[in-house]
Amino acid sequence: MTALTSPMSRRLRWTFTDGLTLVGRELGRLRQNPGELIAALIFPAIMVVLFGYVFGSAIQVPGGGNYREYLMPGLFSMVIFSAVMGVMVRVATDASRGVMDRFRSMPMARSAVPFGQTGADSLTGLLSLAIMVGAGLLVGWQPHRGLIPTAEAFLLLMVLRYALSWVGVYVGLVVKNDQVADQMVPLFFPVTMLSNSFIPTGGMPGWLRFLADWNPVSAMTAASRELFGNPSVTSGDVAWPLAHPVAAVLLWSAALLVVFVPLSVRTYQRRGR
């Protein structure tokens, strides 16, 4: 190793190791607070019952098809988008309790904290997605297009989740107050529901339909429906993100990462400066 690359690779290694430690921290928290794990298990069950059976009992999928087959990709998107809120609350709590200042006063790799937080979220995200998939299989949802498209769908879900978790880091760093962050959590519902997740956007008023069609939640849901081979209902002119959902999700993910990774890393390193 040359003298030039050595400090760089050392820094990278520490960023990785410190990030892993923070992932381990998330696991430790789950172990100490089994209540959170139970809540994470019950949430998908509630959503499936609420939307699949309560609302679903009165919803006909236009063109036929099982509503729960239609619904599950929407619930997957919902699980993915919960990353924003979860990461935001954790980062804001660290910032308001002084834990962030402790990290900053330690000789650890400086980008490790945001990378560790997002890495930890991917792990918990994978777990909650798996639970939601289990709930879906129980109520008769299944992928129809074989191994490769199914794997692609899950990969796409996790890529978008990772990108979204950086939005959570940034918002959490800006908010820096766990109480304010907690109050922002319910905003998550209108954002995820203003989409094609639960009902087709075709019947919405024009301006609302525009928002719903361009909501990344809709692109993600449409991409899942396509890759899993679940019923997808579109009518009239189909907006670009819904006509090319996989590309739209990849573009959304890239755009979020390009904007929020540098923004978050800089905000983390600069706070109080």
User: Quick one: 135 exposed, middle or buried, by C-beta within 10 A (0-12, 13-18, 19+)?
Assistant: buried
CB of residue 27 to another protein, shortest distance in Å: 10
35 versus 186: smaller Cβ distance to another protein:
35
CB of residue 80 to another protein, shortest distance in Å: 24
14 versus 43: smaller Cβ distance to another protein:
14
Residue 182: both structure tokens together: 């907690």
CB of residue 95 to another protein, shortest distance in Å: 11
CB of residue 46 to another protein, shortest distance in Å: 23
CB of residue 167 to another protein, shortest distance in Å: 23
CB of residue 86 to another protein, shortest distance in Å: 13
Residues that bind another protein (CB under 8 A): 14, 17-18, 21-22, 24-25, 28-29, 32-33, 97-99, 101-108, 112, 272-273
92 versus 217: smaller Cβ distance to another protein:
92
Reference 253, options 221, 219, 206, 228; nearest CA is: 219
CB of residue 157 to another protein, shortest distance in Å: 27
50 versus 106: smaller Cβ distance to another protein:
106
99 versus 257: smaller Cβ distance to another protein:
99
HEC states along the chain? CCCCHHHHHHHHHHHHHHHHHHHHHHHHHHHHCHHHHHHHHHHHHHHHHHHHHHHHHHCCCCCCCCHHHHHHHHHHHHHHHHHHHHHHHHHHHHHHCCHHHHHHCCCCCCCHHHHHHHHHHHHHHHHHHHHHHHHHHHCCCCCCCCHHHHHHHHHHHHHHHHHHHHHHHHHHHHHCCHHHHHHHHHHHHHHHHCCCCCCCHHHCCHHHHHHHHHCHHHHHHHHHHHHHCCCCCCCCCCCHHHHCHHHHHHHHHHHHHHHHHHHHHHHHHHCCC
175 versus 223: smaller Cβ distance to another protein:
175
32 versus 60: smaller Cβ distance to another protein:
32
